[in-house]
């Protein structure tokens, strides 16, 4: 399984790198097809995806094993897995190629009994920029499992039970240029924009893990320090605790921009996520985590977003978590070697319990 992970990390599948993504999906597709899985390939606006099924054409399997192949950019050396002190280091080892390696190993283990299981594997390549051409499109195609295993949030085995929604806005202001020594002859694009930003920020009296949050990520405009700016723009990132707050903040931001004659456009948006540990397709996974690792799963609230929100919008529960690891998107991204193999054991036990449709297949859990 570690060798599979090494091969996957070696593909420099930075979001938008079409050739590397295509080659990685070729490798995954070939591996799964050789072991009896039925492969479907998709392309939406040059973002490729793959779905492998135990039953051809069956878009609603009991379990979908989901993952994204794309990673954030990194120096070349991070695309080689390094092992040190019980940890595996490299771009994507935690976020989230470890899961793809586990899925592939699982298929290898049960290849002689695939017909006894009802599941699929969904691999996409655009999660880091919203998942709109990957998971969102595949859901539109009708891929709606009973549950999706999506290990992309919830640290140290704590299954995600909630996540904030998000709105990313671009606010644009237009003015009239003039010489900096004669500002009364021009109209500053910054003046109304700064007033509006102050009022928008006031919509967020708190800025912490439990509250709605506001971030001004970029503010730019003008062309010279001695010239009145005739153009300015700001990029805003809001994280919002529920759908009601998303609606309220969106309307208030629109009203403020209209007040100052500014253009407002939505760059990205995604709804909040809420899952229960008592959900029938989530509870068994939590139980197996405890049995294998000894860790009690109490749930977690994830500050970032993932493709789980697309499944949530389609009323498909997701099991989203990270095994022990850290620094994803960072220069020291790592995954515990022990946790890597524990995840595979949890997966085996869960699939034996939930995805098996025949008693004819031997239990993988019995091997551990």
- Considering the domain architecture, whether residues 133 and 47 belong to the same structural domain is answered as yes
Exposed, middle or buried by CB within 10 Å (0-12, 13-18, 19+), for 17?
A: middle
- Considering the domain architecture, whether residues 94 and 141 belong to the same structural domain is answered as yes
Do 228 and 187 form a contact (C-beta atoms < 8 A)? Answer: yes
- Considering the domain architecture, whether residues 294 and 146 belong to the same structural domain is answered as yes
Total domains, the chain: 2
Looking at 221, 238, 270, the residue that finishes a domain is 270
Taken in order 149, 155, 157, 158, the sign of the CA dihedral is negative
Looking at 270, 300, 326, the residue that finishes a domain is 270
- Considering the domain architecture, whether residues 84 and 148 belong to the same structural domain is answered as yes
Q: Using CA atoms, how far apart are residues 234 and 212, in angstroms rounded to an integer?
A: 19
- Considering the domain architecture, whether residues 155 and 171 belong to the same structural domain is answered as no
Q: Which ranges constitute the DSSP H helices of 238-302?
A: 243-259, 283-293
Between the alpha carbon of residue 183 and those of residues 14, 195, 223, 227, 228, the distances in Å are: 46, 18, 15, 8, 6
Q: Any idea what the CATH number is for the domain that residue 52 is in?
A: 3.40.630.10
Residue 185 belongs to domain spanning: 165-270
Question: For residue 168, how far is the Cα from the chain centroid?
Answer: 16
Report the candidate in 162, 188, 184 with the shortest Cα–Cα distance to residue 173.
188
- Considering the domain architecture, whether residues 142 and 290 belong to the same structural domain is answered as yes
Q: Any idea what the CATH number is for the domain that residue 205 is in?
A: 3.30.70.360
**Three-state DSSP state, 244:** helix
Looking at 217, 242, 270, the residue that finishes a domain is 270
pLDDT tens for the chain, residues 1 to 368 = 999 999 999 999 999 999 999 999 999 999 999 999 999 999 999 999 999 999 999 999 999 999 999 999 999 999 999 999 999 999 999 999 999 999 999 999 999 999 999 999 999 999 999 899 999 999 999 999 999 999 998 889 999 999 999 999 999 999 999 999 999 999 999 999 999 999 999 999 999 988 999 999 999 999 999 999 999 999 999 999 988 999 999 999 999 999 999 999 999 888 889 899 999 999 999 999 999 999 999 999 887 789 999 999 999 999 999 999 999 999 999 999 999 999 999 999 999 999 999 766 566 655 55
Q: How many helices (H) and strands (E) does the chain have?
A: 9, 17
Is the pTM above the cut of 0.85? Answer: yes
């Amino acid at each position: 399984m570690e060798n599979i992970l090494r091969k996957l990390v070696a593909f420099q599948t930075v979001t938008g790198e079409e050739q590397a993504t295509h080659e990685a999906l070729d490798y995954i597709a070939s591996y799964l097809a050789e072991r009896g899985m039925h492969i479907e390939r998709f392309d939406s606006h040059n973002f490729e995806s793959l779905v492998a099924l135990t039953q051809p054409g069956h878009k609603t399997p009991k379990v979908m094993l989901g993952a994204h192949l794309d990673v954030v950019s990194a120096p070349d050396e991070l695309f080689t897995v390094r092992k040190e002190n019980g940890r595996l280091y490299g771009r994507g080892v935690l976020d989230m190629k470890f899961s793809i390696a586990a899925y592939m190993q699982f298929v290898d283990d049960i290849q002689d009994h695939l017909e006894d299981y009802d599941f699929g594997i969904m691999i996409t390549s655009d999660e880091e920029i919203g998942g709109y051409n990957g998971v969102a499109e595949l859901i539109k195609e009708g891929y709606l499992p009973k549950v999706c295993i999506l290990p992309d949030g919830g640290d140290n085995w704590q299954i995600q039970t909630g996540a904030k929604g998000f709105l990313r806005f671009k606010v644009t202001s237009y003015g009239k240029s003039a010489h900096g020594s004669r500002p009364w002859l021009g109209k500053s694009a910054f003046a109304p924009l700064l007033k509006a930003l102050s009022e928008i920020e006031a919509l967020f009296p708190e800025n912490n893990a439990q509250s709605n949050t506001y971030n001004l990520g970029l503010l730019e405009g003008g062309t010279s320090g001695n010239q009145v700016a005739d153009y300015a723009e700001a990029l805003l990132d809001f994280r919002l605790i529920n759908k009601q707050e998303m609606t309220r903040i969106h309307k208030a931001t629109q009203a403020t921009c209209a007040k100052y004659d500014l253009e407002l456009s939505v760059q990205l948006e995604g709804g909040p996520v809420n899952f229960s540990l008592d959900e029938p397709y989530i509870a068994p996974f939590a139980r197996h985590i405890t049995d294998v690792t000894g860790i009690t799963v109490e749930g977690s609230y994830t500050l970032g977003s993932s493709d789980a929100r697309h499944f949530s919008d389609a009323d498909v529960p997701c099991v989203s978590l990270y095994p022990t690891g850290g620094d994803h998107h960072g220069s020291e991204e790592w995954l515990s070697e022990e946790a890597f193999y524990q995840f595979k054991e949890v997966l085996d036990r869960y699939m034996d319990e939930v995805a098996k449709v025949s008693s004819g297949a031997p239990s993988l859990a019995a091997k551990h």
